[in-house]
Chain A
């Protein structure tokens, strides 16, 4: 158990819909990262927040947005869902601002299926 929690574990929805994924980092961690992993694919970095502020952006679609709240939990919002958005979505956290030296600890993921 990494200490990172994600809800829900599974999500089934229809094309065109909007969903929200939630992540709570490890106690004391200030950075939250979001990743997408499609079937048999590598990890795709989406976005990082540090202490409530956006720190780094990866290949995140405009239909996707995220935020980190004062209690440091984070939410990833996916809208106008398409079949290709079906994937595992992981949240990870690290202790500081993520200088490239910090270990990231991953949550169990949310498996999203868009029908």
Chain B
């Protein structure tokens, strides 16, 4: 079957670093997406990984290991506005729809 696992909730401190993990089991793999979603708002695109390794984009970085079915999103210099849910989604080459994780709710404390 198709499955994506993310922690339900994480708490971190303003100014710190946090790593949000995502593991997946899917038939076929065509890339992994990370989205940010503030409560009641639309998901917004953060990153896309299709090759193994780390992609850095400002304060956010995303890592992928295809052999391990594993990805993480790394957020540095946390700000209060980073409090949101972070969604992991996998694209498969056999299907047009993305498989979405349930999301990780990140709470930032001062």
Least distance between A111 CB and chain B CB atoms (Å) = 8
Contacts of B91 in A (CB 8 A): 99-102
Q: How far, in whole Å, are A2 and B40 apart by their CA atoms in the complex?
A: 16
Q: Are A99 and B42 within 8 A (Cβ)?
A: no
Least distance between B37 CB and chain A CB atoms (Å) = 9
Q: How many residues of A contact B (CB 8 A)?
A: 27
Q: Are B41 and A48 within 8 A (Cβ)?
A: no
19 additional A-B residue pairs with CB within 8 Å, beyond A101-B48, A104-B45: A42-B100, A42-B101, A43-B87, A48-B96, A50-B96, A56-B96, A56-B97, A90-B42, A90-B43, A100-B91, A100-B95, A101-B31, A101-B50, A103-B48, A104-B33, A105-B45, A107-B42, A109-B42, A111-B40
Contacts of A108 in B (CB 8 A): 41-42
Q: Does B66 have its Cβ within 8 Å of any Cβ on chain A?
A: no
Task: List, sorted by A's number, 30 A–B pairs whose CB atoms are closer than 8 Å.
Answer: A2-B44, A42-B100, A42-B103, A43-B87, A45-B100, A48-B96, A56-B95, A56-B97, A88-B40, A90-B42, A90-B43, A97-B96, A98-B97, A99-B91, A99-B93, A99-B96, A100-B30, A100-B31, A100-B91, A100-B92, A100-B96, A100-B98, A101-B31, A101-B91, A102-B91, A104-B98, A105-B45, A106-B43, A109-B42, A111-B40
Q: How many residues of B contact A (CB 8 A)?
A: 25
Inter-chain residue pair count (beta carbon < 8 A):
65
Q: In chain A between 15 and 55, which residues have their CB closer than 8 angstroms to a CB of chain B?
A: 33, 41-43, 45, 48, 50, 55
B residues contacting A by CB (< 8 A) are 28, 30-31, 33, 40-45, 48, 50, 87, 90-93, 95-98, 100-103
